[in-house]
Amino acid sequence: MPANYNEKQIPIDTKILKTLRSAGAGFVSGADIANTCGISRAAIWLRIESLRQIGFEIEAVPHLGYKLVSTPDLLIADDIASLLNEDVIIGRDIQVYTSTSSTNDIVLKLATSNVAEGSVVFAEYQTNGRGRLGRSWISPAKKGLWFSVLLRPNLSPQLSSRIIIMASTSLVKAINQVTGIQASIKWPNDILINGKKTAGILTEIGTELDKINYIVLGIGINVNLSKGDLPQTLSKTATSLMIESGSKVHRPTLAAAVINQLDSDYKTLSKGNFTIIAEEWERFCETIGKNVTIHVGDRIIKGRAEAVDTDGSLMVRTQHGRLERVIGGDVTLEK
């Protein structure tokens, strides 16, 4: 790969926004932005005008240059990309759909078209958002983060649950960074605040012989939903970051924080350091140490959740004293 591979791929608007952000509350001269982007000052002016039209507030002062005052609460690929760390794998390509059936459907197509891992697809609205086992996921327009990530981890299919363990840990950390809220994890795939579901994870896996070909990691985060955005049937079990914190959360900021965190944790996992992630996960997980009932298909397992195993499965001490390894299922916590 040539040394300037990433440099070549960065779109102009991402570069402009990154340069403006690097000045913090200060100004950057048109000449400096033009230099960084390799285009004329007149062309920069045109790009700034088009950014203003989609809601970026950019101040221009003669002799000082440009200052980024505020950015819209919209998912815009160039904007999210401008907030990412250098050399990310997850997030190296970002696409945003205004509306789609399910972002997992789009990424499944990328997965089977040999696209490299790391693509992230967001939708402002999903007409057919999916949960596990054919359940549906409510995805109102411009209120949440509904997105999917294409991964091709070098793991055997038996270890694929590690990706859910990783993603739930990343979500708790990113939510805490941006909102200060300490969420918890309910094994296997729920992020809870005050006992109510704020985010869910759906992975879909393609295998080839004894290898994972792809994992589509689908994540739904209820960000600025108000109570009225959720159906009555979910009023006791679901919540959003806005409902819990009392204030709106800037979605592009959260989107970038989640991608940066996923990227960093994925790199830890890829280096073979799953135990670092598993230890964090256990600290955040409210299922560990509790008496649980787990429905796996028609089977019901009752016991005490003791730990997460190296493959990402839950270790449950049953009433008969046996240690059972549980791969997936629906957990009810017993009082």
Binding site for ligand BT5 (CB under 6 A): 102-104, 126, 129-133, 135, 137-138, 146-148, 189, 197, 200-202, 218-220, 222, 234, 238
Minimum CB separation from ligand BT5 for residue 103, in Å? 4
**Beta-bridge mates of residue 28:** 66
Q: For ligand BT5, which is the closer residue by CB, 56 or 187?
A: 187
Cβ contacts of 39 within 8 Å, gap of 6 or more: 12
Q: Helix 12-22 to helix 41-53 angle, to the nearest 10 degrees?
A: 90
Q: For ligand BT5, which is the closer residue by CB, 28 or 165?
A: 165
Minimum CB separation from ligand BT5 for residue 59, in Å? 36
Minimum CB separation from ligand BT5 for residue 113, in Å? 18
Q: For ligand BT5, which is the closer residue by CB, 34 or 96?
A: 96
Q: For ligand BT5, which is the closer residue by CB, 44 or 150?
A: 150
Exposure b/e, 134-149, CB count within 10 A at least 16 = b: eeebbbbeebbbbbbb
Minimum CB separation from ligand BT5 for residue 329, in Å? 10
d(CA 207, CA 211) in angstroms, rounded, equals: 6
Cβ contacts of 246 within 8 Å, gap of 6 or more: none
Minimum CB separation from ligand BT5 for residue 173, in Å? 19
d(CA 248, CA 111) in angstroms, rounded, equals: 34
d(CA 163, CA 324) in angstroms, rounded, equals: 21
Q: At CB < 8 A and 24+ separation, what contacts does 206-213 make?
A: 206/111, 206/112, 207/157, 210/156, 210/157, 211/156, 211/157, 212/152, 212/153, 212/154, 212/155, 212/156, 212/157, 212/160, 213/111, 213/152
Q: For ligand BT5, which is the closer residue by CB, 13 or 229?
A: 229
Minimum CB separation from ligand BT5 for residue 295, in Å? 12
Q: For ligand BT5, which is the closer residue by CB, 61 or 133?
A: 133
Q: For ligand BT5, which is the closer residue by CB, 33 or 230?
A: 230
The candidate with the shortest Cα–Cα distance to 325, out of 205, 216, 214, 188, is: 188
Alpha-helix runs per DSSP H in the chain: 5-9, 12-22, 30-37, 41-53, 77-82, 103-111, 161-179, 241-245, 251-270, 274-284
Q: For ligand BT5, which is the closer residue by CB, 28 or 241?
A: 241
Minimum CB separation from ligand BT5 for residue 31, in Å? 42
Minimum CB separation from ligand BT5 for residue 82, in Å? 23
Minimum CB separation from ligand BT5 for residue 152, in Å? 18
Q: Which residue number has the CB closest to ligand BT5?
A: 200
Q: For ligand BT5, which is the closer residue by CB, 44 or 90?
A: 90
User: Could you write out the three-class secondary structure of 258-315?
Assistant: HHHHHHHHHHHHHCCCHHHHHHHHHHHECCCCCEEEEEECCEEEEEEEEEECCCCCEE
